[in-house]
Amino acid sequence: MTSISQLTLAEKAALTSGSDTWHTQAAGDVVPALTLSDGPHGMRRQVKSAGDALGLNNSLPATCFPPAVALGSSWDPELAHRVGAALAREASAQGVDVVLGPGVNIKRSPLCGRNFEYFSEDPHLTGVMGAAVVTGIQSLGVGACVKHFAVNNQETDRMRVSAEVDEQTLREIYLPAFERVIRDARPYTVMCSYNRINGEYASQHRWLLTDLLRGEWGFDGLVMSDWGAVNDRVAALAAGLDLEMPPTGTDAEIVEAVRAGRLAESVVELAGERLLKLARRVENRRRFDGWDVAAHHEIAREAARAGAVLLKNDGGVLPLAPGRRVAVLGELARTPRYQGSGSSHVVPTRLDNALDALGAAIEVSFAPGYRLDGHPDEELAARAVEVAAAADVAVLFLGLPDAAESEGFDRTTIDLPAAQVELLRRVAEAGPEVVVVLSNGGVVSVSEWQECASAVLEGWLLGQAGGSALADLLLGTHSPSGRLTETIPLRLADVPSHLYFPGADGRVVYGEGRYVGYRHYDTLGTEVAYPFGHGLTYTRFDYSGLETRETGENEWSVELTVTNAGERFAHEVVQLYVAFEAERPVRPRRELRGFAKIGLNPGESERVRFTLTGADLAQWSVSRGGWAIDAGPFAVEVGASSRDIRLRAELSSPGDGYAGPLTGMSTLGEWLAHPVGGRVLKELLSQGTGLPDFERADPALLGLALGVPLIKFRTFGIGLSAEIVDRLVSAVEQG
């Protein structure tokens, strides 16, 4: 027997649910059982009977690569691809067919407890990085699983909450990263999210799982549930969810629904076919007995170096100059926090810490300074201040403890623990120059304390080699090259979703719409602590020679030269934005549309090239139910962050030529702007119908009139009748 259709109904139904926490159901010699395992930044392969989706039980040791917060900050898809391939090798060695990741949800609020697992507040960057991880994983034939589809941007009430989000915001912010991954990287599987979207559970959202995902985007793989996300097996299958994970033992509901005519057997069969297709796809995955633990640790170290972001470096205190007396302070230097909690928790193969790594290279003194559980400890603090006083430079490791952020709950503050901030003040007063190194999965506020530090190195959660990677950067064997993928606001209250997050009463309204992250701050010109895209290096880059060329209709090439004008090798992340200026905001002020990470030696230059197309200018039009490109001016901005634009060119788009239907309810302004409507209306006016000549009218009157639906002029006693409007409408219809 080789086909699903030959199975009994009960056997087919059984295929639509797992056999246990980490395995799919087998069906005789037709479909083999497949092994699934977390997670996005390292394998969490649990062995028998210890299966859980919460990271409670141990798993086999595996390389803990930097979580997405840090990998994303590398802005380096090639590196993400290599990390993906290394993950796949470990997956394969552990008998895993599908890796449950990456997660490509948007960071809507810095409070989301799972931000460490996501790449960015920006959909373009998220999509590019997510696609790179997927192609990396699948390059060895192991399946990837892009998650959590969709609009899963908080942990509070995640299994029930309804994300209330308008269509334009969905299309422009919360769906594009998924779309890019599906179209560019063709993942074998997708995992639906727990939450509801505008009232409907993602697991039974037909538009999402079928019309959009398969119909529009061409997804041809298998959709599985998040662990426990299915509420109604029959509704889920009918909506396009192929596999419930883990099993709830409710296969009989499906059999019953088919027998009662509530569910077509073909739907059950199709889900089985998709499982079989997945099995065939992963059947040829490359087999490995193990992996080179040291080599993978090196990849983790490279990725960690690439992900740390140097926020400030006054007076060039970093890299640490030889001969200076260095104090390393803070428990986090010795006991690193290098990954987040929950289903992505990895048991590492090794673990570096910054204290040992620094101590191996230079002489350092050390004091832990504070307790990780946040309890004040005067003795520890006083000792650290003493050690600081005897040093030229104090490298103080601060950050969030495990208990502060995790999958499953959101933070309520972005502040560092008070005892740590207090210690920083005292250390600064003791006299040394202060370098702060941060460890945190979600953004922490720097405004209250950063004046106490000459340098701040944002180390996020950097995986198992984070400690040595940080030492590489502090000592200057490598230059920092990470860039912020999310804005650090001055205050939590400045965050655009602040009034709405995380909602109440089962709903969270996405009231800020598409103004997420820098789209909000840059549109309003709000001051921020550090902008999207920001990050310093140990060198300086010059931008010059911007050239734009129209290469087709709504297509432009953009070129510029970047030169390393400093003294050291480093990487620059060149960012391309499209920008729209208007008297009042009609769309986000600027949006990232491209980036390139390039490594340059001192004095070296490189020509960087981008292509812009109409899709980069398009906005979602609700009335058209599609993407729309407005005719008119826009600018190309190239820079080192969203607030550090170095080069700019003004361009103009002819638009997409769309001239929508006109009706009597279209305004005078819409009529005049319409290529045919404008003409026929002007013809009518020139025939002396008694209508006023709007174009010569007093500006205030014209301003008023432009917004009035044409048919309404009928009642204004100016000679426009319903018949005339009808005639105009049919003239437009005939072109």
Residues forming contacts to ligand BGC in the complex (CB under 6 A) are 38-39, 53, 100, 147, 226-227, 343
Measured from the Cβ of residue 370, the count of other Cβ atoms closer than 10 Å reads 27
Burial class (CB in 10 A: 0-12, 13-18, 19+), 497: buried
> Min. distance of Cβ 343 from ligand BGC in angstroms?
3
DSSP 586: S
Q: Which is nearer to ligand BGC, 51 or 692 (CB)?
A: 51
Query: CA 601 to CA 609: how far, in whole Å?
Result: 19
Cα separation, 425 vs 420, whole angstroms: 9
Distance in Å, CB of 622 to ligand BGC, minimum: 31
Q: Smaller CB distance to ligand BGC: residue 24 or 343? A: 343
Instruction: Decide whether 226 or 405 has the Cβ nearer to ligand BGC.
Output: 226
Give CA–CA dist 593/580, Å, rounded.
Answer: 13
Question: Closest approach of Cβ 282 to ligand BGC, in Å?
Answer: 17
| Tokens of residue 320, six digits | 């640490």
| Amino acid making up residue 636 | V
HSE-up (13 A, CA, CB side) for residue 467: 22
Q: Is 302 exposed, middle or buried (0-12, 13-18, 19+ CB in 10 A)?
A: buried
- Give CA–CA dist 666/643, Å, rounded: 39
CB 535, CB 635: distance < 8 Å: no
Which residue from 72, 74, 64 is spatially nearest to 473, judged by alpha carbons? 74
Separation between Cα atoms, residue 467 and residue 474, nearest integer Å: 11
Q: What are phi and psi of 102, to 5 degrees?
A: -85, 165
Helix-, strand-, coil-residue percentages of the chain, each rounded to 5: 35, 20, 45
314 is catalytic: no
Name which of 226 and 251 has its Cβ closer to ligand BGC. 226
Rounded-to-integer distance, Cα 388 and Cα 270, Å: 66
Shortest distance in whole angstroms from residue 35 CB to ligand BGC: 13
Q: Is there a contact between 211 and 304 (Cβ–Cβ < 8 Å)? A: no
Catalytic, out of 76, 226, 522, 656: 226
Question: At 508, phi and psi to the nearest 5?
Answer: -130, 115
* C-beta separation of 166 from 121 below 8 A: no
Q: Which is nearer to ligand BGC, 227 or 366 (CB)?
A: 227
What does the longest C-alpha to C-alpha distance in the chain come to? 93
Q: Give whichever of 92 and 343 is closer to ligand BGC, judged by the CB atom.
A: 343
Q: How far is the CB of 64 from ligand BGC (least distance, A)?
A: 16
Whether the bond between 602 and the residue before it is cis, its omega within 30 degrees of 0, is no
- Taking the complex as a whole, the smallest distance from the CB of residue 197 to ligand BGC amounts, in Å, to 16
Instruction: Provide the minimum distance between the beta carbon of 171 and ligand BGC in the complex, in angstroms, as a whole number.
Output: 24
When the beta carbons of 341 and 479 are compared against ligand BGC, the nearer one is 341
Separation of alpha carbons 655 and 658, rounded Å: 8
Least separation in angstroms between residue 152's CB and ligand BGC is 8
Q: Which is nearer to ligand BGC, 147 or 171 (CB)?
A: 147
Beta carbons within 8 Å of 274's beta carbon, 6+ residues apart:
221, 222, 223, 242
Active-site amino acid positions? 226
